[in-house]
Amino acid sequence: MPVVTVGPATVHVDAEGFLTQYDEWNEPLARQLAARIGIELTDEHWKAISFLRADYPAHGETATLRRVSTLAGIPIKQLFVLFPGKPAKKMAYIAGLPKPRGCV
Amino acid sequence: MKRLVILGAGTAGTMVANKLRRRLPMDEWQLTVVDRDDIHLYQPGLLFIPFGTYRPDEVRKPRRRFLRDGIRLELGEIDRIDPVRQTVALDGGRVIGYDYLVVATGTSPRPDQTPGMLGPEWRKSIFDFYSYEGSVALAGALRDFRGGRLVVHIVDQPIKCPVAPLEFTFLAESYFRQRGMRDQVELVYATPLSGAFTKPIASAQLGGMLDERKITVEPDFLVERIDSERKVLVSYDERELGFDLLVTVPLNMGADFIARSGLGDELNYVPVDKQTFRSKEHPAIFAIGDANDIPTSKAGSVAHFSTEIFVDNFCDLVEGRPMTRAFDGHANCFVESGDGKALLIDFNYDTEPLPGEFPIAKLGPLSLLRENARNHWGKLAFRWIYWHLLLPGRRLPLPARMSMAGKHQPDKEN
């Protein structure tokens, strides 16, 4: 697994840049990752990111858009506004979680 | 008497009931299966009905005929499960108690979940083919289609038989070519995924096959609503995709009684251990087939392989031994590609579909990720195997665990 430097931190990532170690993530790092894909994190972004972080250890998978929408109460439409283009991937990237598997 | 109750007499529920009836002593175990009706649908056959390959009466048979003696079939709508009292309530007041419960009620297309889908164009220019009625209606629509843009569309993952929309697209392309009207039909494949399929090697192969056939892929397309007046699909990121004929795969969800019982996730699937299918919350409940949330394909082959693991584990459990078998996520699917050919893919939780050969004892190998006629005949022969061997719970010469024999790892060969 490659190791990269993000701001002051050194983290393990996969070939596409998604963090591979759950515990290497912290909030300042999330801000740095978000900035790399042109997103400045607001409270609304944090609501989604915090849900993903809390859900992952219990669920064992990165939450899908529909899961975030239903369980965190953020409409899918709004997730597309907050994380334009590919919201599921962008949220996972910022939250330091594996790329959502999209299903088989 | 101990009571085992199985909810759903589809592929997984019927196999489990038949296998366990043979292994659990008659004088110790009562086996009850609950379903809403007595019609067993051969779901893989729905793909072929729109093209006239199968007649509608070839895919439906009475459920009762496939359940062994000593299995009681209760017909009725399920109202809810009470996991504390260990009971299942049916509509009309019937209550069935259980010592162990197996949820096998599958997943269903839900056109009601996308605004505009069930509007005035439903089954006029908007069709599904995952239901008996939809598939039969679509046969008429294809026959009458005079040309224009046909969009094949998936609302969201996961769906049952995730390769079926691709198969439908390939078969439609071949169908219009054979009718001499291919140049009057624009074919578009709209998917919420970034490519034709989820796994990279199969996605590249299947994507290449779409390209060769001049089928346009509209990737990352997550539909928000359908404007049926303008005949347009509108995505969450405000792309619009017009259609003359839309063949959609609606959102798939588990049964509503699972949500009413507080047992489901956001799509009404029961969260389970992915190796044993035991509910994460209630140790007396298992969920098998499409009804659970395991991260593999919702497919008949998965139901088949996983029930073998489940049945062995269940027999250990009720005799007080630890459950030692673990499911690896094995799935195996024929992919129809048109013109009497098909591909075969074989994969599990950890290994994506790879090229190579798939060995079958006595019958010889089938080729993986490559189109040929032999795979197509394999797919058609499967209908007989399904009714006569699979549902009765007889052993097939296919291992429950995926094998690497015959498979090639492309990157290791470079």
Say what percent of chain B tops pLDDT 90: 91
Nearest in space to B163 (alpha carbons), one of B196, B130, B132? B196
Taking CB atoms and an 8 Å cutoff, what residues of chain A touch B280? Answer: none
Q: Name the band, by pLDDT with cuts 50, 70 and 90, for residue A102.
A: low
Q: Does domain B2-109+254-319 fall into CATH 3.30.2270.10?
A: no
Chain B nearest C-alpha distance from A102 (Å): 7
Test mutation, B110, B156, B345, chain A, max A CBs within 10 A = B156
Q: Do A102 and B266 touch (CB under 8 A)?
A: no
Q: Which of A1, A3, A58, A103 is catalytic?
A: A103
- Nearest Cβ partner for A80 among B158, B236, B297: B236
Q: Quote ipTM for the complex.
A: 0.88
Q: What is the mean pLDDT of residues B8-14?
A: 98
**B192 token code pair:** 């919420």
Chain B nearest C-alpha distance from A65 (Å): 10
Check: CB of residue B138 under 8 Å from CB of residue B245. Answer: no
Local structure of B103: helix, strand or coil: strand
Active-site residue, A103 included: yes
Nearest in space to B155 (alpha carbons), one of B191, B205, B194? B191
Query: At residue B393, what are phi and psi to the nearest 5 degrees?
Result: 85, 25
Nearest in space to B218 (alpha carbons), one of B237, B200, B205? B237
Q: Name the band, by pLDDT with cuts 50, 70 and 90, for residue B114.
A: very high
Q: Could you read off the pLDDT of B368-391 as tens digits, one per residue?
A: 999 999 999 999 999 999 999 999
B323 to each of B57, B270, B304, how far by Cα in Å? 41, 20, 19
Nearest in space to B135 (alpha carbons), one of B203, B67, B19, B42? B42
Find the residue in A nearest to B333 (Cα).
A104
- Angle between helical axes of B200-212 and B164-178 (0-180°, round to 10): 20
pLDDT at residue B413 tops 70: no
Query: Which residues 6+ apart lie within 8 Å of B206 measured at CB?
Result: B166, B196, B197, B335
Between CA B190 and CA B405 the distance in angstroms is: 35
State the pLDDT at residue B411.
Answer: 63
State the pLDDT at residue B360.
Answer: 85
Between CA B30 and CA B36 the distance in angstroms is: 20
Q: What is the mean pLDDT of residues B1-7?
A: 98
Chain A nearest C-alpha distance from B233 (Å): 15
Check: CB of residue B248 under 8 Å from CB of residue B117. Answer: yes
CATH 3.50.50.60 in chain B, residues?
A: 2-109+254-319, 126-252
Q: Could you read off the pLDDT of B12-59 as tens digits, one per residue?
A: 999 999 999 999 999 999 999 999 999 999 999 999 999 999 999 899
State the pLDDT at residue B398.
Answer: 87
- Nearest Cβ partner for A77 among B158, B224, B267: B224
Q: Name the band, by pLDDT with cuts 50, 70 and 90, for residue A101.
A: confident
pLDDT at residue B412 tops 60: no
- Nearest Cβ partner for B266 among A61, A67, A104: A67
Find the residue in B nearest to A62 (Cα).
B295
Nearest in space to B169 (alpha carbons), one of B154, B148, B147? B154
Chain A nearest C-alpha distance from B198 (Å): 6
State the pLDDT at residue A104.
Answer: 41
Q: Could you read off the pLDDT of A36-79 as tens digits, one per residue?
A: 999 999 999 999 999 999 999 988 899 999 999 999 999 999 99
How does A62-73 read in b/e, with b if 16+ C-beta sit within 10 Å?
Answer: bbbbbbbbeebe
Chain A nearest C-alpha distance from B195 (Å): 11
Local structure of A62: helix, strand or coil: coil
Q: Could you read off the pLDDT of B154-178 as tens digits, one per residue?
A: 999 999 999 999 999 999 999 999 9
Cα angle for residues B92, B96, B101 (degrees, 5° grid): 130
Please state which CATH number belongs to domain B126-252. 3.50.50.60
Contact residues, chain A to chain B, C-beta under 8 Å: 59, 61, 64-67, 69-71, 76-77, 80, 84-86, 101-104
Domain boundaries, chain A: 3-95
Long-range contacts, B81-89 (Cβ 8 Å, 24+): B81/B7, B81/B257, B81/B258, B81/B261, B81/B263, B81/B285, B82/B261, B83/B261, B83/B263, B83/B281, B83/B282, B83/B284, B83/B285, B86/B284, B88/B5, B88/B7, B88/B34
Q: Do B222 and A70 touch (CB under 8 A)?
A: no
State the pLDDT at residue B414.
Answer: 39
Q: Token pair 């839900």 is at which residue?
A: B110
Which residues are registered as beta bridge partners of B75?
A: B35
Q: What is the mean pLDDT of residues B110-115?
A: 98
This prediction's pTM: 0.94
Q: Do A104 and B331 touch (CB under 8 A)?
A: yes
Nearest in space to B366 (alpha carbons), one of B350, B381, B384, B387? B381
Between CA B172 and CA B53 the distance in angstroms is: 12
Q: Do B158 and A104 touch (CB under 8 A)?
A: yes
Q: Could you read off the pLDDT of B263-315 as tens digits, one per residue?
A: 999 999 999 999 999 999 999 999 999 999 999 999 999 999 999 999 999 99
Taking CB atoms and an 8 Å cutoff, what residues of chain B touch A80? Answer: 236-237
pLDDT at residue B2 tops 90: yes
Q: Do B162 and A104 touch (CB under 8 A)?
A: yes
